[in-house]
Chains A and B, each alone.
Chain A
Amino acid sequence: MEFAIETNGLTKRFGNVIAVDSVDLRVKRGEIYGFLGLNGAGKTTTIRALLGMIRPSEGNVQVLEQVVGPNGRGPWAKVGHLVENPSAYPELSVRENLDIARRLHRIENQSVVNEIIERLGIASYADRKAGTLSTGNLQRLGLARALLHDPELLLLDEPANGLDPAGVVEIRELLRDLSQKQGVTVFMSSHILTEVDRLATRIGIIHKGKLIEELDADKLERLRAKYLLIKAHNVNAARNALKSAGYTILSSHDNEIRLNDLRAVAAPDEVAQVLVRAGVPPTHLAVEQENLEDHFLRLTSQ
């Protein structure tokens, strides 16, 4: 199997702090891999190790089947990256910043700069100094720099940071398009779980430096717990009626009750009958499924 990213026992220690602990990542070519974790979980350290910016304390990193580092060695002509907050030379224009990136990627064709400016929707800011850009436009400049050289692999740390809602959708579609039409592998960390949920084909969850779960988006769909959400005017009476009928209450607070036993989820109509007979008809009855955020919080709180 050809992996775009492969790490074996990747560990990084800073003094006594273990930032990344024996992480074995396998990212297939063409995948959109969502890398989730709380602040300080080790996401950025992992991305920096993938880019050869930090030396692993133990283990090794291969990117596009080439061993990364030491001494900055790696397949960087085929890799685009955006690490942490976007940055640019403030006294240089957007175009000049991208022209520097073009030169350092040793691309002769000057038109790539204009093309990427158009593609990322920053044409009206092209001759403006980068120091005057809004956070969102600076993020677009960072993404433009990452995409300038048509990379095979994109390593993106919080790509939706600072973007407005329309920008988030635009970048999501751009990344999906790159993955589906050009086979670009995308490895992205994000705090915006709904974004990862919508975009990623595979998800890894890192917690306290350890990769605690890695799963396909399809599997996540199956793993997500389902529950029946009930609302009623008299929640206490409804809860007593359901208990009497043998249902297990998952949670009950304010004006809602959640049931997660299979009998309730499979036959909500029977639950409705029980409540009606008890004189507490439901005002709301729906089968719901936990989202990625719930799943993530459940895992990381353990």
Chain B
Amino acid sequence: MSNFSSALWAEMLKMFRSKVPLFTAIGFSMAPLAGGLFMIILKDPEAAKSLGLITTKAQLLTGTADWPSFMGFMAQAVAAGSMILFSIITIWVFGREFSDHTVKELLALPTSREAIIAAKFIVLSIWSLVITLLIFGEGLIVGILVVIPGWSIDLLQTSLVDILGGAALTLPLMSFVALLASSGRGYMPAFGWTILTLFMANLSAILVWGDWFPWAIPGLFSGVAGPRTETLGTHSYILLLITSIIGIVATFWWWRSADQTR
């Protein structure tokens, strides 16, 4: 039994026994259902008129009732939603050790602290990506059920890249959430950080310098402000990578070095 596999087994057991994966999956599953609702509204303009604001919002978000619009909505919803839902997962994985006072059971063990933190990052990544894939699958089913035109294999591949790419770009940024859930010794500082970064990401996108703000990059990748080839550059991905590495290194450093008084 290796250092890392022991830690991974422990983290997996904690995840499977928790209700948080179920709740996050249910929360995330609202995105395809909302997309499907917009498609139904857009397919029937008469019914849409009677629904007032919902119709306006639906047109604003998707334009026409077809597969490209639906998958575009899905990618943007996942990009926006994943920042919150992945944060909840990360906050739970790290912050619960402090709120349940179990952190002291993880510090003086033959299994290294580094292995435990690496296992936590792996588990939250697997959990987040599985939920994203489930949502993608649910989106396909919803799209088929509402019967919209414009389906193609190319669209399937492009959508998968958009959705999984957005999720993959969001995940490394969770290192800062992990750091704050640890150093803040609980849930609230990390929640505050998530709200702050979401606000700043929106602000930076509006001010058209989102390509320089790492937390705006997953949203821009999903096409929320136009094709990503126009809104993002290589510098954006490098910046996101450097930022994420800083977050991960800081989290490991904190667990290795900070005084653990709880």
Contact = CB atoms under 8 A, between A and B. Distances in A.
A279 to B, nearest CB: 64
B261 A103 contact: no
A40 interface: no
Nearest to B115: A104
B101 interface: yes
B108 interface: yes
Interface size class of A (residues with CB under 8 A): 20 to 34
Contact of A100 (B1, B3, B10, B104): B10
Given A72-B113, A89-B14, A51 B108 contact: yes
A105 interface: yes
Nearest to A146: B105
Interface stretch (B25-33, B158-166, B252-260): B252-260
Q: Which 9 A-B pairs have the closest CB atoms?
A: A87-B101, A54-B259, A53-B260, A77-B110, A51-B108, A104-B111, A103-B6, A100-B10, A71-B256
Nearest to B96: A89
B108 A72 contact: yes
Contacts of B56: none
Interface in A98-128: 99-101, 103-106, 108
A227 B108 CA distance: 47
A101 B105 CA distance: 8
Interface string A65-104: 0000011101011010101110111111000100111011
B188 interface: no
Interface size class of B (residues with CB under 8 A): 20 to 34
Interface in B72-124: 100-102, 104-113, 116
B94 to A, nearest CB: 14
Contact of B109 (A84, A92, A104): A104
B13 interface: yes
Contacts of A239: none
B7 interface: yes
Interface in B1-39: 1, 3, 6-7, 9-10, 13-14, 17-19
Interface in A255-302: none
Given A76-B110, A87-B101, A101-B105, 9 more contacts: A48-B260, A52-B107, A71-B256, A89-B14, A91-B17, A96-B17, A103-B10, A104-B7, A106-B3
Contacts of A88: 100, 102
B100 A106 contact: no
Contacts of B104: 53, 83-84, 87
A55 interface: yes
Contacts of B6: 103-104, 106
A76 B115 CA distance: 15
A43 interface: no
A91 B18 CA distance: 7
A210 interface: no
A96 B13 contact: yes
Interface in B108-152: 108-113, 116
Nearest to A93: B17
A47 to B, nearest CB: 10
A104 B106 contact: yes
Contacts of A45: 261
Contacts of B256: 70-72
A76 B102 contact: no
B3 to A, nearest CB: 8
Contacts of B109: 76, 104-105
A83 B106 CA distance: 12
A145 interface: yes
B93 to A, nearest CB: 12
Contact of B107 (A53, A55, A101, A145): A53
Contact of A103 (B1, B107, B259): B1
Interface string A202-213: 000000000000
A89 B100 contact: yes
B257 to A, nearest CB: 7
Given A87-B104, A90-B100, A96-B13, A104 B257 contact: no
A72 B110 CA distance: 10
Nearest to B106: A104
A48 B110 contact: no
A7 to B, nearest CB: 16
Contacts of A105: 109-111
Interface in B232-262: 256-257, 259-261
B13 A72 contact: no
Nearest to A79: B108
Given A89-B102, A90-B100, A91-B19, A104 B10 contact: yes
Given A70-B257, A100-B10, A89 B108 contact: no
B105 A145 contact: yes
11 contacts: A52-B108, A53-B259, A70-B257, A84-B104, A87-B102, A89-B17, A89-B100, A89-B102, A100-B10, A104-B106, A106-B110
**Best-surrounded residue of A76, A79, A85, A101 (most CB of chain B within 10 A):** A76
A55 B108 contact: no
Contacts of A89: 14, 17, 100, 102
